[in-house]
Amino acid sequence: MKIRNLFLIPITLFLVSCSTTTHYKNDRSGANFNSDDYECELVARRNTIPQQYGISFDDLRYNSEKNSLWSSCIRAKGWYEVAK
């Protein structure tokens, strides 16, 4: 049991160190990230076509295209990334 715990500690530390959180800021008064995020997610989903049959490299392209549309939309609403 102790040997298993020894393997879990480095794996846990690795996973925690890999996680990143992106923070956004908007100088517009009354800006609401949650509602803008939701609208941009809808726009991105509406304008990309997911693969219908299984998982393939097209899924990576779909996710990349969707993320690109979301990023463009959120920037158009005045949001920009900030370092924390």
Task: Tell me the domain boundaries of the chain.
Answer: 2-82
* pLDDT tens readout for residues 24-76: 889 988 889 999 999 998 888 887 766 555 555 556 666 777 888 899 999 99
Evaluate if pTM is beyond 0.85: no
- Torsion sign across C-alpha atoms 72, 77, 78, 84: negative
Closest Cα to residue 33, out of 81, 83, 79, 82? 79
Ramachandran region, residue 41 (left: φ > 0; alpha: ψ -120 to 50; beta: rest) = alpha
d(CA 48, CA 62): 7
